[in-house]
Amino acid sequence: MKAMVWTAYGAPEVLQLQEVAKPTPRDNEVLIKVHAATVTLGDCELRSLQVAGWLWLPLRIYVGLLKPKRITILGQELAGEVVDVGRAVTRFKPGDPVFGPTMLRLGAYAEYIALPEKYLVRKPADLSYAEAATIPTGGVNGWHFLNVAQVQAGESVLINGAGGSIGTYAVQIAKALGATVTAVDSAEKLAMLRAIGADQVIDYRQTDFTQSGQRYDVIVDVIGKSPFGRSVNALKPNGRYILGNPSPIAILRARWTPMRAGRKVTFAVATYQAEDYSAIQALMAVGKLKPVIDRRYPLAQLAEAHCYVDAGYKKGNVIILVENH
């Protein structure tokens, strides 16, 4: 089969189209013919190893000290069709359309992938493969952050990093929950954010939301770059500050900073529960939630797609369509 192989740590050109062995599913695994995958900022950061300092050495040890060895194909979410199942699989059969995360295995940038049955969800008929592929990272995390925040109708919610895969889902979910939403991102993404429902938009290059004098019931920091102390001070009494991509320092500050007026700081990592998928699909079914897709690239142009995401231009999701699908 064809796959985009991660040949070294570095620029997008390290992703090379190669012929590799087609996987065989183990007893608890499903073999999937991949129709669509995505390019997230996380994929790009891992490819180049431009990650937080505390993650650099553990990732090198896990993936390969000098070059990728344990994992040689990137891609953390996908949608496709089941073509074979292991003998212990009970929920799926060949021909079933599915989607899901690849978790620490990665491997979505290939024509086929074998994944444990428990990772996968059946794709609804009214969703394309490209749309379904955006749900595991953006949809599940967006829902999880707002669920942890216990957003109520009438509350004010600010989402920092609103223009990406998670943020565009979070904006729409917050609106569906009845909140007034302020979206923070670069100027190039503000029109799109208004179009998907943001009540107010802020260009982070021009305005620091923590110094505007506005106060919010909930602040969701998707990208982990809002200033901790000032963000806490931008909360209303009983406000909640959700750290979606926390550094170790932010986690320590969340644990040790004394909170006043009932404020809370929580760092949230999605755990991919069945109820999360059900909630997302219910909102999609009534038209309150729609994946935002910026661009589509064939598998062979994965390096170009990574260049686009590296540049910070991505609005919502960038899709990889595997060739011949």
Q: Where are the domains of the chain?
A: 2-134+291-321, 137-267
DSSP letters, 279-323, are HHHHHHHTTS----EEEEEEGGGHHHHHHHHHTT---SEEEEEPT
Q: What is the pLDDT of residues 254-279, one digit of tens each?
A: 666 667 778 888 887 788 888 999 99
**What pLDDT is attached to residue 227?**
87
**What pLDDT is attached to residue 7?**
98
**What pLDDT is attached to residue 323?**
61
92-114 mean pLDDT = 97
**What pLDDT is attached to residue 270?**
82
The percentage of residues in the chain with a pLDDT greater than 90, rounded to a whole number, is 83
DSSP letters, 207-263, are --GGGSS--EEEEEESSS-S-HHHHHHTEEEEEEEEESS--HHHHHHHHHSPP-TT-
**What pLDDT is attached to residue 229?**
87
pLDDT above 60: residue 324: no
Beta bridge partners of 98: 80, 122
**What pLDDT is attached to residue 248?**
67
For strand 293-298 and strand 317-321, is the pairing parallel, antiparallel, or unpaired?
parallel
CATH 3.20.20.70 for domain 137-267: no
CATH of domain 2-134+291-321: 3.90.180.10
Q: Rg (Cα) of the chain, in Å, rounded?
A: 20
Examine domains 2-134+291-321 and 137-267 and report if their fold is the same: no
At residue 263, what is the residue type? R
Q: What is the pLDDT of residues 160-177, one digit of tens each?
A: 999 999 999 999 999 999
64-92 mean pLDDT = 97
67-90 mean pLDDT = 97
Mean pLDDT of the chain: 93
The secondary structure of the chain in percent helix, strand, coil, rounded to multiples of 5, reads 35, 25, 40
**What pLDDT is attached to residue 325?**
41
User: What's the whole-model pTM score?
Assistant: 0.94
Q: What is the pLDDT of residues 11-63, one digit of tens each?
A: 999 999 999 999 999 999 999 999 999 999 999 999 999 887 778 888 899 99
Q: What is the pLDDT of residues 204-225, one digit of tens each?
A: 999 999 999 999 999 999 988 8
**What pLDDT is attached to residue 246?**
65
